[in-house]
Structure 1
Amino acid sequence: MANKLVVSVQNEINNMQKNEGLKLPPSYSVGNALNAAWLILSDDSKGPSMLEKCDPRSVSKALLNMAIQGLSPAKNQCYFIPYGKQCTLQRSYFGSVTVLKQLSSVKDIKAQAVFKGDGFEIGADDEMNLIVTKYQPKFENRDNPIIGAFAYVLQKDGHKVWTVMTKKEIDASWSQSRTHNVQQKFGQEMAQRTIINRAAKLYINSSNDNDLFVKAINDSTESEYDDDQSAKDVTPKKTVADLIEDKPAKDSQEQSEVPQQSESVSEASEIAAESVSESEDSASSEPLTSEANGKEVYDDASGTKQTDLFPNGDGVRSKFD
């Protein structure tokens, strides 16, 4: 891959591994992940590609966040979503699980949605820690409304830490998200991802893991939530396999039959469509930029200015739910 932007990201990752203690999963190939991402970012079969529409700095940051977290779009672990001129990286449910298993204190993490009619009870252990005492799912209940979700983190010492959320709590989290319709359509998977993000709070921000890794996790999580920058346009994404197959014949693509997509791929397309819908309502809003240093400045929920200091690794902001 000869693109200078991708090569620069590859070199930056190599530098972080050599000089800043960054450790990637042994089976993770940065080059393969960057190539898969490049196919998506450069796809112009439905209009200008994200490379053409987005600020190169935001594309570089999204690619860097992807590589630092050990994610691959080829495995549907992450999506590239443009908001205005900013390219952002968002994790899927599979990506969130993948990332959390890389934390030094975490051995495993499981999450389940609870449907109406399932047997579910909670309690407390001798130290007053919340635990799930009963979970009896039934196949016939899976078409029923979701009433909540729960997850446990299995620590390296064998201890389980439980987290539960009611549907009302899940809805409150979703109401702050940019992808409302996706959560309604893919309720089970999105509820599981929401409860995993809630369960992960303590482990991520109290972790002894590399600061670059923790910062990348926080950046990807907070990019899913509304702030003062509003979505303006989104190019729906395809799978990497689709792009490889269709790229040489993009002019005749509209005449070909579109294959049925998996739920995860459909989720990505729904995220794109939801962002387009939001953009039509508020297309005039743009992220603020500091003239002094060229870094983006945002207002958080309280009106306080927040500056993106990713290159320096400072100023971590986190929105998990």
Structure 2
Amino acid sequence: MSENTQVAQVKKDISAQVLQKVQSFQEAGELTIPKDYIPSNALKSAYIILSETKNREGKLALEHCTQASIAEALLKMVIWGLSPLKKQCYFIMYGNRLECTPDYSGNIALAKRYGGLKNIKAQAIFKGDEFQFEVDGATGRKKIVKHSQTLENLGSTDVIGAYAVIEMDNGVNDVEIMNIKQIQSSWQQGATNGASPAHKKFPDQMAIKTVINRACKLIIRSSDDSALIESEEDEASKLSPVESEVKQSVEQNANSQPLDFEEAQVIDENNIVDVSSGAEQPQSEMFPDEAPFKD
């Protein structure tokens, strides 16, 4: 058996162990998976994507990242109920450690699933726009009083802010507003410091993603399942009891009971897997303040 074949087999074994652990947690009532989410489908699509994921040096994630970090990343994906095929999450390499990072669309899905979000719509604010908002002194909630734009302003690279209008299932409406300094501070947390081609060419779209991301994270963290999302500070440093058990199992049984991914179900045969051949995921799809390589 070649070295590449051995590596692929080991990584399939890790996926199998994650799936088995998830199933055991479900049977014990310790983990609830969304009804419309099939872990085996997600794990198969994740394996396909990871098979081609590389860092800037051209090192493959499946060969370079530790088995424990791969297991943790896959487990997070399943616990969150996110689909890499739908680009709701991405796998990012930090040295020899793999992380699963929600995309802004994944955060919207989590906010709807766990936080009671009904709808969210965001807009960029350009220089020259007439923008006014007020804060309700009784509730502390913001309200957009006026936002007027001209056709010439649309698509301008001179963005001065962004806001997201939030509608909750319980009828409560709110607004998240960020000025450009706050947005750029968020971008600074990424590997390119907000200087990627996407930030330069489409600052309005990146600003919109940033404000949506902030709004959804606040909703998720204030829900009963807020522990599903970690802050930037504690990400990769704290494991839940479920994650810890999976990590320990992988380290002890790295080559047991392989999963035949060819027999796993496919989420949607009409979906096309967008596989990254370089270090970074497509910049237009990534969310700037999630992790390095995504901004």
TM-score (norm 1): 0.63
Deviation of residue 207 (structure 1)?
1.6
Distance in 2 between residues matched to 1:216 and 1:41, nearest whole Å: 22
Partners of 2:76 and 2:100 within 8 A in 1: yes
1:83 is aligned to 94
Spell out, residue by residue over 1:221-263, the C-alpha distance to the aligned partner (whole angstroms, 9 max, x if none).
9659xxxxxxxxxxxxxx96355xx9xxxxxx9xxxxxxxxxx
Measure the CA separation in 2 of the matches of 1:70 and 1:195.
22
1:215 corresponds in structure 2 to: 227
Q: TM-score normalized by structure 2?
A: 0.68
Q: Write out per-residue CA displacement over residues 1-50 of structure 1, whole angstroms, 9 at most, x where no aligned residue.
A: 97211111112222333334533333222222111110121227995421
Q: Say if 1:89 and 1:220, in contact at 8 Å, map to a contact too.
A: no
Distance 1:44 1:95, change over 3 A: closer
- Are residues 96 and 7 of structure 1, via their aligned partners in 2, closer, same or farther at CA, if it must alter by over 3 Å? same
Amino acid of the structure 1 residue aligned with 2:176: T
Amino acid at match of 1:141: N
Which among 273, 286, 290 is matched to residue 241 of structure 1? Answer: 273
Aligned residues: CA RMSD: 3.4
Three-state SS of the structure 2 residue aligned to 1:32 is helix
Q: Does 1:203 align with 2:219?
A: yes
Q: Tell me, yes or no, if the aligned pair for 1:151 and 1:195 is still in contact at 8 Å.
A: yes
Matched, 1:172 2:185: yes
Structure 1 pair 15–75 and aligned structure 2 pair: CA distance change class (3 A): same
- Counterpart of 2:107, as a letter, is S
Q: CA deviation at 1:138?
A: 4.0
C-alpha contact (below 8 Å) 1:154/1:160 kept by paired residues: yes
| Structure of greater relative contact order (alpha carbons < 8 Å, 6+ residues apart) | 2
Separation in structure 1 between the aligned mates of residue 144 and residue 234 of structure 2, nearest angstrom: 29
Q: Percentage identity across aligned positions?
A: 34
Which ranges of structure 1 fall in alignment gaps of 5 or more residues? 225-238, 247-252, 254-263, 277-321
- 1:291-306 equivalences in 2 (<5 Å): none
Q: Structure 2: how far apart are the matches of 1:136 and 1:267?
A: 26
Distance 1:38 1:159 in 2: 40
Query: How many residue pairs get matched?
Result: 238
Residues 78 and 89, structure 1, Cα contact 8 Å, conserved in 2: yes
Q: Is the 8 A contact 2:18 2:74 kept in 1?
A: yes
Q: Within the alignment, does 1:150 sit opposite 2:163 as a pair?
A: yes
Distance 1:111 1:24 in 2: 29
Q: How far apart are residue 111 of structure 1 and its match?
A: 2.1
Q: Deviations over 1:126-180 (max 9, x none)?
A: 6242211223344432231111111133222111121101001111222223342
Show structure 2 runs of 5+ residues with no match.
1-7, 237-270
Shift of 1:61: 0.8
Q: Which of 70, 91, 94 lines up with 2:81 in the alignment?
A: 70
Q: Which residue of the partner structure matches residue 31 of structure 2?
A: 22
More helix, by proportion:
1
Q: Report the counterpart of residue 256 of structure 2 in structure 1.
A: none
Distance 1:98-1:139 versus aligned 2 partners, 3 A rule: farther
